[in-house]
Amino acid sequence: MATATPKASVHGAAFEPLSTAFAQNPYPAYAALRDKGEPQFFPDFGMWLVARFDDVAAIARDNSIVRSPEFFMSHEEIEAEKRAQNWHDMPHHSRFVQFSMLDSDGEVHDRLRKQVFREFTPAFVARQRGMIQSFVDKLVDGLIDKGEIDFVEDLAAQVPGHIIGRVLGVPDEDCPQLRVWSENVVKFFDIDRNDERKTTAEKATTEFYHYLQKLMAERRAAPQEDLITRLIAAQDAGHLNEDELVSTCMLILMAGHGSTIDVLGSGMHALLRFPDQMERLRNDPGLIHTAIQEMFRFESPLPFFHRYSTTDCVVGGKAFARGTKFGLLYGAANRDPAAFGDDAGSFDVGRNPNRHLAFGGGAHFCLGNHLARLDMEVIFTTLIKRLKSISLAEAEPQYKPGLSVRGPKALRLALTPA
Amino acid sequence: MYRVTFVDADGKARELTANAGQSVMSVAVANGIDQILAECGGSCACGTCHCYVDDSWTGKLPAPDDSEQGMIECLMNPTERSRLTCQLKMSASLDGLVVHLPREQY
Instruction: Give per-residue pLDDT as tens, B25-58.
Output: 999 999 999 999 999 999 999 999 999 999 999 9
Residues of A in contact with B37 (CB under 8 A): 353, 355
Summarised one tens digit per residue, pLDDT across range A116-128 is 999 999 999 999 9
What radius of gyration, in Å, describes the C-alpha atoms of chain B?
12
Give tens-digit pLDDT for A152-200: 999 999 999 999 999 999 999 999 999 899 989 987 877 677 899 999 9
Q: What pLDDT digit, counting tens, does each position of A327-374 carry?
A: 999 999 999 999 999 999 999 999 999 999 999 999 999 999 999 999
A126-162 tens-digit pLDDT: 999 999 999 999 999 999 999 999 999 999 999 999 9
* DSSP calls for A93-129: HIIIIISSSTT--HHHHHHHHHHHGGGGSHHHHHTTH
CB contact under 8 A, A355 and B38: yes
Using an 8 Å Cβ cutoff, are A218 and A297 in contact?
no
Check: CB of residue A262 under 8 Å from CB of residue A407: yes
Of A297, A101, A98, nearest in space to A205 by CA? A98
- Structure confidence at residue A8 (pLDDT): 40
- What is the count of residue pairs from A and B with beta carbons less than 8 Å apart? 69
Q: Which among A116, A115, A118 has a CA at the least distance from the CA of A239?
A: A115
Is cis: bond before A401, omega within 30 of 0? no
Instruction: For A247-268, write each residue's pLDDT tens digit.
Output: 999 999 998 888 999 999 999 9
Question: Which residues from A are below 8 Å from B when comparing CB atoms?
Answer: 57, 60-61, 63, 110, 113-114, 117-118, 121-126, 289, 352-353, 355, 359-365, 369-370, 373
Q: List C-alpha distances in Å: A241 to A92, A110, A245.
A: 16, 15, 6
Buried b (16+ CB within 10 A) or exposed e, A77-103: eeeeebeeeebeebebbeebbbbbbbb
Interface confidence, given as ipTM, is 0.86
Spell out a b/e string for A24-47, using b for 16 or more CB atoms within 10 Å of the CB, else e: eebbebbbbbbeeebbbbbeebeb
What are the helix and strand counts (H, E) for chain A? 18, 10
Average pLDDT for chain A: 93
How many Å apart are CA A235 and CA A249, to the nearest integer?
13
pLDDT classification of A13: cutoffs 50, 70, 90: very low
Residue among B26, B36, B43 with most chain A CBs within 10 A, to mutate: B43
Task: Give the largest Cα separation in chain B, rounded.
Answer: 33
Assign A399 to helix, strand or coil: strand
For residue A113, how many other CB atoms are within 10 A of its CB?
20
Whole-number percent of chain A with pLDDT over 90 = 85
Instruction: Flag whether pLDDT at B75 surpasses 70.
Output: yes
Q: Which amino acid, B73? A: E
Separation of CA B104 from chain center: 14
Q: Angle at which helices A175-186 and A242-273 pack, to 10 degrees?
A: 90
Q: What is the pLDDT of residues A205-227, one digit of tens each?
A: 999 999 999 999 999 999 999 99
Which of A57, A110, A126 shows the shortest C-beta gap to B76?
A126
Put simply, whether B11 touches A (Cβ < 8 Å) is: no
* Residues ≥6 apart with Cβ < 8 Å to A253: A161, A164, A165, A168, A170, A178, A182
Percent of chain A whose predicted confidence (pLDDT) is above 70? 96
Q: In this predicted model, what pLDDT tens digit does every residue of A284-299 receive, in sequence order?
A: 999 999 999 999 999 9
> Rounded to an integer, what distance in angstroms lies between the CA atom of residue A248 and that of residue A250?
5
Using a CB–CB cutoff of 8 Å, tell me whether B42 touches chain A.
yes
Torsion of Cα atoms, B37 then B38 then B39 then B43, to 10°: 170
Which among A301, A284, A271, A281 has a CA at the least distance from the CA of A372?
A301
Give A376-389 pLDDT, tens digit per residue.
999 999 999 999 99
Q: What's the pTM value of the predicted model, to 2 decimals? A: 0.93
Q: E strand or H helix at A290, and its extent?
A: helix A288-298
Closest C-alpha among A37, A104, A84, A63 to residue A315: A37
User: Radius of gyration over alpha carbons of chain A, in Å?
Assistant: 21
Q: Is B32 on the interface with A (CB under 8 A)?
A: yes
Q: What is the average per-residue pLDDT within A65-78?
A: 90
